[in-house]
Amino acid sequence: MPVFDFSDKPVKNEDTVCTYTAFQSNAKEKTPEEPILVLDNSERQWIHHALGVFINPAKRTAFEFKENGETFSADILKIDSRFVSLIKWLGENHISVRLSGKNLEDGYAVYRIRETAFGGGTKLSAADGFLQFMIERLLASTASEEVEEDDDADEEGDDMKLTSLQSISDFMTCAGRTMPDNIRLWARRNLAVARSNEVSPEERRHAQRALSIMMNIQWKSNYFEAIDPVEARRILDEELYGMERVKQRIMETVIQINRTHTLPAYGLLLVGPAGTGKSQIAYAVARILKLPWTTLDMSSINDPEQLTGSSRIYANAKPGIIMEAFSIAGESNLVFIINELDKAASGKGNGNPADVLLTLLDNLGFTDNYMECMIPTVGVYPIATANNKEDISAPLMSRFAVIDIPDYTFEEKKIIFSKFALPKVLKRIGLKENECIITEDGLDAVIEEFKNTSGIRDLEQAAEHLAANALYQIEVDHVLQVTFDAEGVRHLFL
């Protein structure tokens, strides 16, 4: 059947013209000296904030400037290899953008890209937010040796949110290289399920939900930035009194991280009586590492499915606590604070939660039943607490460096009460230190009263009781000052 062409122009297949060279960069912030890309400015100097569109890369790798109703074109000379797919996506979808750049000797260095509405105004919608989301992920990633092209066709756009199939597909096209290889392959398979009309609506809903969870996690490498030892020691001294042996072990971990730039192969297991500050130590370590943290309270977990999630065959299926922790943190590097590890073996017939923890602690990867994917755990640092290590299985114990937390001595409790616990309570309830005074024999009486209790929780409650009683006397009896001696303390705690 003949086909007629009324354009009077010969049909010609033009080859793609690639004008740029890709360069490797790991810069986390973009500047004119560390640009996203460089445009040709040999014939014309471009303004600081320029409007236009990237030309469809199937024709030529360039940018069309829109100035005063006129159109000018400039070839792309250089581009950060991490942004090649993003620039291609912007060109293929004819997205109007505003470039921020500076004219240098080797070209117009672009260091910021914003999406704009028609007429040049910045879009105050989810669209530019999505573009900035992808740029932030690309900046956080490291340069790859090869730029992989993804020629999968996109469906018609719905809304520009990361929960939509269109935005998920666009993210995979532009920033898919920021994800581990196995997750990228998993995402493509789940995207096919979510788009398929050959599966049930329930399966499509689960696939899309799983994709949304996975795409919102920033998958980082196992490279760890150096930690300032002086600042680390300051945090430990601020949070903990005494415990020099414990502080020394934590500082050894800091120095090890600074030498290897990776997290240690073993987590920390803090073992000691209740109230000795084990959880406080764990939070201090998370603060030193500058990582988000999450807690797993093993005393409330009696079914492994709470950790591993439920299979998608159930209508009410959902991810497990571990996967939800990654999702809430928004990144793959985080501190897992596992409270009461000695109660992890108390499963109720459906398995042992302690066995699930072994896969998390091995740093080889963790599989969630709902996600159906191996989750990298190289950036997870576990810190566990326990009252009795005899109740912890040998395989679990072998995954930790054990630190025994001793109870405080009589003298240490005196200092903690007088220098930390009581002043903190007085400040919180608005009393001055000279309004509530405790004598030396009164202090001895307080410590003697709680000599048979472990930790300092009871001492903190005693400080609260003393301060509240002093406040009552000041407000009701209109005294200016309350002094507690040994007899007053014993009378108060009768």
Tens digit of pLDDT for each residue in 389-400?
888 888 888 889
Q: Mean pLDDT, to the nearest integer, of 18-36? A: 91
394: CATH: 3.40.50.300
pLDDT level of residue 449 (50, 70, 90 thresholds): confident
Domain boundary among 368, 389, 404: 404
The CA distance from 256 to 232, in Å, is 13
Assigned token pair, 409: 């001595």
Residue-wise pLDDT tens digits, 171-211: 888 888 888 899 999 999 999 999 998 889 899 999 999 99
Name, in order, each residue with C-beta under 8 angstroms of 335's C-beta and a sequence gap of 6 or more.
282, 285, 286, 289, 291, 292, 293, 294, 380, 381, 382, 383
Q: Is residue 26 a part of any domain in this protein? A: yes
The CA distance from 25 to 74, in Å, is 23
Same domain, 339 and 192: no
Same domain, 318 and 365: yes
The pLDDT assigned to 330 comes to 86
The CA distance from 239 to 385, in Å, is 17
424: CATH: 1.10.8.60
Q: Is residue 469 a part of any domain in this protein? A: yes
The CA distance from 314 to 203, in Å, is 10
pLDDT level of residue 145 (50, 70, 90 thresholds): low
- Tell me the residue range of the domain where 63 lies: 21-139
The pLDDT assigned to 125 comes to 43
Q: Is the pLDDT of residue 427 over 60?
A: yes
Same domain, 396 and 414: no
Q: How many domains does the chain have?
A: 4
Same domain, 26 and 91: yes
Q: Is the pLDDT of residue 154 over 70?
A: no
The CA distance from 214 to 327, in Å, is 8
Q: Mean pLDDT, to the nearest integer, of 458-466? A: 87
